[in-house]
Structure 1
Amino acid sequence: MDNHFTDIQLDVLKELINIGGGHAATSISQLIDKPVNMLVPMIEIMDYQELYAKIMAEDQLVYAVMSQIYGDAGGVFLFALSDDSTEAMTDMMMPESVVKTEVLKESATKELVNIMVNSFLNATSKVLDVNLVSSVPLLTIDMFGAVISSLYMAFDQYDEQVMIIKNEFFYLGDKMEASLYFIPKAGVLEKLFKSIGV
């Protein structure tokens, strides 16, 4: 798909996301008092229908956390994790002595997403001098295709393009992969690039 965005635009955007990722890793490290690193090796903008072929199967069961974005660049952040990745993230977020119940797993996942999304938004807000705020994260456990489809049915004013931000967390030498999706309102990405000046 021709997303009509240039390599320079995506490179600048990736740098913004990396800044936000660094802030997120620092915040998580301070919270759990252990070193956490986060890299963003891939950013791609594509039609949401391509997700199932290129990123994640439609019938993949995921822990999906949604955070709605308000302000100068509206949309939805969606953080999707497999069950194994959710277990690993919970182990990272919670002390070893704590029994990992399903309720705690869901709570830890939502808190992780809350930290990540707000770190991204704070970094972007400072660099671009825009106002961005997020809603309280909501978690659902469902097939990936059903999650994406429900977002588009609930927010049909949103653009058909999705920004995929591939995250890699490194904790105690282990890598945990997850994907953060930004589903923007129509025209938001163009407005964002105009603010950046590229």
Structure 2
Amino acid sequence: MKSNYSAMELDVLKEIINIGGGHAATSLSQLIDKPVHMTVPVIEMMAYEDVYEQIMAEETVIKAIVIKMMGDAEGVFLFTVDQQFSKDLVSMMLPDDTPYSEAMADSALQELVNILVNSFLNAVMKLMDRNLVTSVPLIIEDMFGAIMSSIYIEQNQYDDSIMIIKNEFYYLGDRLESSLYFVPKPGIIEKMLQVLTV
């Protein structure tokens, strides 16, 4: 993956991620029946150490839901959520009289992320006229650094600098302790830009 994208290329990429993320935020609002908004997405090249300094400490234990994107483009969506907020998020989704269990919470979280990612991709497919499908969501609980590094290596990204593509969600002005990341296979961003800038 190249590290010197032009301002126009970054603007195009940011716009497509913004549109997809907006659809995901709308889906999240409908699921928890509360207004959820999204800020302008983060898209930048970072060294690995900067990721852990600026985004989240490497040793922070989180829950992450991983969904692979396949078809005309490949990559991985990674939804990370703070452990306490994952419980709050699940309680928003389930009826008040539902007894809480880890199994039910994990299932609800996986379904939520499945809807988020597919809402995101449906918007992107309309823009790009490309066929994209997703895998079954996989839930992981581990340190943020271990999850991030394994995902990037799995996507054959071994560069010193990595592209961070991240959407953050807000409720009543407060940041929800969760983020949606997209980790593309090498060359996918360039292919997306070719389609969108012709």
TM-score of the aligned structures, taking structure 1 as reference length: 0.85
Identify the residue that residue 164 of structure 2 maps to in structure 1: 163
* Identity %, equivalent residues: 44
- After superposition, the Cα gap between the structure-2 partners of 1:120 and 1:156, relative to the gap in structure 1 and judged at 3 Å, is closer
Aligned residues: 194
Q: Deviations over 1:79-114 (max 9, x none)?
A: 111112212211222222212221122112111111
Q: Deviations over 1:175-196 (max 9, x none)?
A: 4132222111111111111111
Contact 2:59 2:143 in 1 (8 A): yes
Identify the residue that residue 43 of structure 2 maps to in structure 1: 44
Identify the residue that residue 124 of structure 2 maps to in structure 1: 124
Which blocks of at least 5 consecutive residues in structure 1 are unaligned? Answer: none
Aligned amino acid, residue 171 of structure 2: F
Higher RCO (CA 8 Å, separation ≥ 6 residues):
2
Alignment of 1:32-111 (within 5 A): 32=32, 34-47=33-46, 49=48, 50-111=50-111
Aligned amino acid, residue 113 of structure 2: V
**Mean Cα deviation higher: 95-104 or 34-43:** 34-43
DSSP-derived class of the 1:107 partner? helix
Q: Quick one: distance in 1 between partners of 2:30 and 2:184? A: 30
Identify the residue that residue 9 of structure 1 maps to in structure 2: 9
Q: Deviations over 1:95-145 (max 9, x none)?
A: 222122211221121111111111111111111111111101100101111
**Mean Cα deviation higher: 2-11 or 73-82:** 2-11
Which blocks of at least 5 consecutive residues in structure 2 are unaligned? Answer: none
Identify the residue that residue 194 of structure 1 maps to in structure 2: 194
Contact 1:69 1:77 in 2 (8 A): yes
Identify the residue that residue 183 of structure 1 maps to in structure 2: 183
Q: Quick one: distance in 2 between partners of 1:99 and 1:7? A: 50
Q: Quick one: distance in 1 between partners of 2:57 and 2:29? A: 32
Contact 1:159 1:186 in 2 (8 A): no
TM-score of the aligned structures, taking structure 2 as reference length: 0.85
- After superposition, the Cα gap between the structure-2 partners of 1:36 and 1:159, relative to the gap in structure 1 and judged at 3 Å, is farther
Q: Quick one: distance in 1 between partners of 2:179 and 2:6? A: 22
Contact 1:159 1:187 in 2 (8 A): no
DSSP-derived class of the 2:41 partner? strand
Identify the residue that residue 143 of structure 1 maps to in structure 2: 143
- Cα RMSD, aligned residues only: 2.3
